[in-house]
Structures are given as C-alpha cells and as structure tokens.
Amino acid sequence: MVKSAPETAGLSPEVLAKYEPVIGLEVHVQLLTDSKIFCGCSTRFGDAPNSNTCPVCLGLPGTLPVLNKRVVEMATRASLALNCEVHEHSRFARKNYFYPDLPKGYQISQYELPLATGGWIEVEHDGAKKRIGITRLHLEEDAAKNLHEGFSESSTKAYIDYNRCGTPLCEIVSEPDMHAPEEAYAYLTTLRQILLYTGVSDCNMEEGSLRCDANVSVRLRGSREFGTKVEVKNLNSFRFLQKALEYEIERHIGVIESGGRISQETRLWNQSANRTDSMRSKEKAHDYRYFPEPDLLPVHVSAAWREEIRGALPELPEAKQQRFVREYGITEYDAEVLTGSQALADYFESVAKAGGSAKSAANWMQTELLRRLNDSGKEIEASPVRPAALAELLKLVESGQITGAVGKKVFASMFETSRSAADIVAAEGLGAQVGADAIEQAARDVIAKNPENVAKFKSGNEGVFKFFVGQVMKTTRGQANPHAVNDILRRLLS
Ligand code: ADP
Ligand code: MG
Ligand code: ZN
C-alpha cells in the first residue's frame, strides 16, 4: 500500500477493512495487422514520423474509409477466445471531439452496436479461480501520437506523429467484477496471455500495443450500491496499475471517512510522485455526440465465417494447462508456469516428445533453463539449448550415465556453446567413472561407520536411506552412477 501520500496516511487496517473496492478495466489492444483499419498504410512501429500516412488517415476532406477485413477477423478471434457473443451485425459510429492527434475531428469507433458482448475469463487470485465478466469488445481506430519536448511552459514543443493514426484497436471493457488491485493485475495478466496465444496482438505495453485504464470506486462491505467511480489513465505497466489502484482505494476511503465525497473524474498516474493527479472531470458520454458512421456499411460477420474463425482458435492457456496435468502428470503449478507462453509450452512438449521425461523436463526448464534465459536476457525461442538437446541431456541423467550435479554443469556448458550433451560429457570426461567395486567399497565404509543409522533403517526408517546415498556420492565426488549406488546400498543393507 502507498503510505507516503498525505491524503492516504493514517487509515487504520480496521477502517480500510470496512470498505470493498470495485474495479473495472478498459483495455485497448492494438491488432497485429500489416495495414491500418481504414486505409492501406503500414502499421509498422518505429518508422520515420509521418511516413506511413495517406489522405485517409490524415483525415483530408473527400476521402472515404474502407474497412480492413483482417481487423474484423482478428477482433472476432479475440472475442471468441474471451467467450463473447459475436454479433452478426455491428456498426461503426463517430465519436466527436477535437484534439490535434485526431485530424478528422472525430474518431471512428463502435458504440451502441459493438462487435461482441457478454464474455468472461477465468482468473486466479488468492488460490481461487473466479470469472470476470467482459461487457463488450469493440473496434476503433487509434489516434496519432503526441510527443512533447522541453519542460518549462515557454519552451515546450509538441510534435505529432500520424503514423499511429488509423491503427486498428479493439477495446475490451470488463464488468466491475474485481475487488482488489491484485485481482485487476491477475485479470490483465490472463487477458494478455489469451491475446498473445491467439496472436491478435503483441501486447507490448512499452510500445503502447496494450493500454489500460482503470475504473475504481469503494463501497461499504455488504452494500449493493456502487460508489462514485474514478478513471485512472496512463497506466503503462502492470506495476503502475496495481500501485495506482492501491493509492486510489486508500484515497477514496480517506475522503469518505473524513465526510467528503468522491467526484467523478479522470485522473493520471504520476509515477515520479507515486500518486494520482486529477486530469479532468469526467466528460459525459453524450458530449461526444455519437452518431452512426455514414461512410461505412454495417459490419457483417456471418455465422459461417464466425465458426470458421472459432475452428481455427489455438488451444488456450487454461485448456493447455489442464491437458499438461492430465497428459504429462506434472503439477498444476508446473503446468501453469509452462503454459505461461505458447513458446514455452511448445518447448516443453518438444522435450517430452524427444524422449525426456516430462517431470524432469518441467524441473530442468523451470530451474536451469529459465534462470539462464533470464540472466542472459534471451527469449525461449532464442535458447541456445534446443528441446531435443535438453531431452538428450535428461536421458543421460535419467539412465545414470551422469549424475544430476554433473548434468547441471553440462547444461551450463551447452547453454554457453550450443554443443551437445554427449559431446561435452565425452570431451570433458564427465561420465560416471566410478566402478561398481569402488562404489561397493565406499558403501561398506559408510555402513560400518554409521551403525545407529543402519539400525534405524532396519527398523523401517526409509528416510535414512538418502543419508547413505548422500555419503557414498560424497566419497565418490559425485562421479558414481546414482542407480548403481542405490542398488548396491539396498543389497548391502538388506
Ligand atoms: P463510462 O460511461 O463512464 O465510460 P461505463 O459504464 O462504460 O462508464 O464503464 C466503464 C468501466 O468502468 C467498465 O469497465 C465498468 O466495469 C467500470 N465501472 C462502472 N461503474 C463502476 C464503479 N462504480 N466502480 C468501478 N468501476 C466501475
Ligand atoms: Mg466507457
Ligand atoms: Zn493511410
């Protein structure tokens, strides 16, 4: 919780606990089409400013928009993955307002007839799963990008890059179903994961392909009525979303407790001051003077096309997670981590298909592989150790040809050099080299020196067996075949 701000200081946990936060998110997602929503201009990020423009997206008089079919297809795919009903007919509307980044003086959006409504996603929070409703998913065009330079009022310059103008967006509006900042965080994480799986967006928050506005209010616990909500914008990271919500919830409670009222407004997250600042009082929806867009036909998604798109949906994270548990016998937790992205899940399945045991694959990926990828800033797609190579290493460990400890060293070397496990083991003489005689000698020594543990084992304490294995591995410097150590100890102890 944010403690530094004066407005929120001094609220006791008892006071905070009297209130229930209510949160709904509006998420804008840039769809991954090559061209813009109403013209053929490129959507590539990072091109020279104003190079990807034409009379249509510059809003020149006399031009006409033409709807990009790929936009409708991608948004339909997203809607279906979010369990929405996709309407056969939807319609574009003009949302009128003036701003330099909006050359037409209106934004083409969808209003009373959105593409899809009534969906939900399942979100995990506090170990429990919960459905968060999705009110609607609608299409719209993005505005241009404003860039400001200079800090004092007299020397500030504003630049406008119209490359982004006309980029396709879908806006996904949630129901006010969330009741904690962590729940909003979990919702956004799950939503992002589904959108990434379906390939409709790269959901890159730094580049603005995923933007989130949070609506938040508080009410006394047990009350059914909603409190007055505030909308917080400028949340360009997951962390800021959570911090801004924590801040706002305490601020609302502070205002109400001191007898004040929350006014409906839009606020901005101020990341350097760790607080929200008022931006403007909330404009009423009718201020936009929405009316049906006369230059575009209604959008038609036939049942046949919709079902074709549904049929091409990939396996989604939740379903994949359940299948991993069922099919590979790994834990729920492991399955959740390994389905974190499609690429990670594919990697895991490739290791298993190449003959590595699924449980070891899950372990090694989550420890050795992910740690090293993380340290070297690489994505799994660029892993120097390919799935088949990891499977080969796992087989060497599982068959006892090398020990687990040696396997980790071999893995490190594979990651550095991309050489195969077998090559490294042979070249560096890492294979289990301790003969059965030497193992037996070491085992006899350990048994002779530890009569009390022998007695414990014989009276049924299976746990001490590990002690014997550990001691033998230690005296053989981790170079013995663990299966052989096990077998020999069992024989000598029985
Ligand atoms: P507006 O017309 O102000 O944009 P909407 O009804 O379209 O409001 O809702 C916008 C978002 O605010 C939705 O995500 C919705 O779930 C959320 N929301 C609505 N009322 C509340 C409330 N009282 N507290 C928190 N969030 C709310
Ligand atoms: Mg709204
Ligand atoms: Zn254009």
Domain ranges for the chain: 6-305, 317-428, 436-493
Nearest to 249 by CA among 233, 234, 272, 227: 227
Question: Which atom in ligand 1 lies closest to the alpha carbon of residue 231?
Answer: 12
Report pLDDT for 478.
73
Instruction: Identify the residue whose C-alpha is closest to ligand 1 atom 5.
Output: 173
- Partner residues linked to 42 by β-bridges: 35
Instruction: Identify the residue whose C-alpha is closest to ligand 1 atom 14.
Output: 24
**CA 173/CA 345 separation, integer angstroms:** 29
Measured in angstroms, how far is the CA atom of residue 28 from the centroid of ligand 3?
20
Pocket lined around ligand 1, Cβ cut-off 6 Å: 22-26, 173-176, 215-217, 226-227, 229, 285
Helices (H) and strands (E) in the chain, counts: 17, 16
Question: Which atom in ligand 1 lies closest to the alpha carbon of residue 226?
Answer: 23
Measured in angstroms, how far is the CA atom of residue 231 from the centroid of ligand 2?
10
**CA 17/CA 12 separation, integer angstroms:** 9
Report pLDDT for 8.
53
Q: Which residues surround ligand 3, an ion (CB under 5 A)?
A: 39, 41, 54, 56-57
Bridge-based pairing of strands 265-270 and 230-235 is: parallel
- Ramachandran region, residue 222 (left: φ > 0; alpha: ψ -120 to 50; beta: rest): left
Nearest to 339 by CA among 121, 131, 328: 328
pLDDT digits (tens, 9 = 90+) for 16-25: 999 999 999 9
Residue with tokens 């069922």: 326
Instruction: Identify the residue whose C-alpha is closest to ligand 1 atom 17.
Output: 24
Which residues, other chains included, contact 303 with Cβ-Cβ below 8 Å and sequence gap of 6+? 88
Measured in angstroms, how far is the CA atom of residue 92 from the centroid of ligand 2?
16
Ligand nearest to the CA of 42: 3
- Cα 431 to chain centroid, rounded: 40
Question: Which atom in ligand 1 lies closest to the alpha carbon of residue 175?
Answer: 16
Report pLDDT for 4.
43
Instruction: Identify the residue whose C-alpha is closest to ligand 1 atom 2.
Output: 285
What is the spatial order of strands in the sheet that 128-141 belongs to? 85-86, 116-125, 128-141, 168-174, 19-30, 210-220, 230-235, 265-270, 275-281
- Ramachandran region, residue 46 (left: φ > 0; alpha: ψ -120 to 50; beta: rest): left
Name the average pLDDT for the chain: 92
pLDDT along the chain (494 residues), means of 10: 50 93 98 98 95 97 97 98 98 95 96 97 92 98 90 78 97 98 97 97 93 97 95 92 97 96 93 90 71 97 98 97 97 95 96 94 96 95 95 90 88 93 84 74 91 91 90 80 84 86
> Both tokens of residue 21?
């936060």
Measured in angstroms, how far is the CA atom of residue 296 from the centroid of ligand 1?
28
Measured in angstroms, how far is the CA atom of residue 24 from the centroid of ligand 1?
6
> Both tokens of residue 229?
């909500």
Report pLDDT for 1.
42
Say whether 207 sits in a helix, a strand or coil: coil
Report pLDDT for 148.
84
Measured in angstroms, how far is the CA atom of residue 38 from the centroid of ligand 3?
7
Measured in angstroms, how far is the CA atom of residue 33 from the centroid of ligand 3?
13
Residues 267, 276 contacting (CB under 8 angstroms): yes
Phi/psi of residue 19, each to 5°? -110, 150
Burial of residue 383 (number of CB atoms within 10 Å: 0-12, 13-18, 19+): buried
Question: Which atom in ligand 1 lies closest to the alpha carbon of residue 177?
Answer: 16
Phi/psi of residue 157, each to 5°? -115, 145
Report pLDDT for 151.
66
pLDDT digits (tens, 9 = 90+) for 319-350: 999 999 999 999 999 999 999 999 999 999 99
Question: Which atom in ligand 1 lies closest to the alpha carbon of residue 228?
Answer: 23
Ligand nearest to the CA of 249: 1
Q: Which of 220, 223, 229 to mutate to test the pocket of ligand 1 (most atoms within 8 A of CB)?
A: 229
Measured in angstroms, how far is the CA atom of residue 65 from the centroid of ligand 2?
24
* pTM of the entire predicted model: 0.85
Question: Which atom in ligand 1 lies closest to the alpha carbon of residue 176?
Answer: 16
Q: Which of 215, 226, 252 to mutate to test the pocket of ligand 1 (most atoms within 8 A of CB)?
A: 215
Report domain 436-493's class.
mainly alpha
Measured in angstroms, how far is the CA atom of residue 52 from the centroid of ligand 3?
7
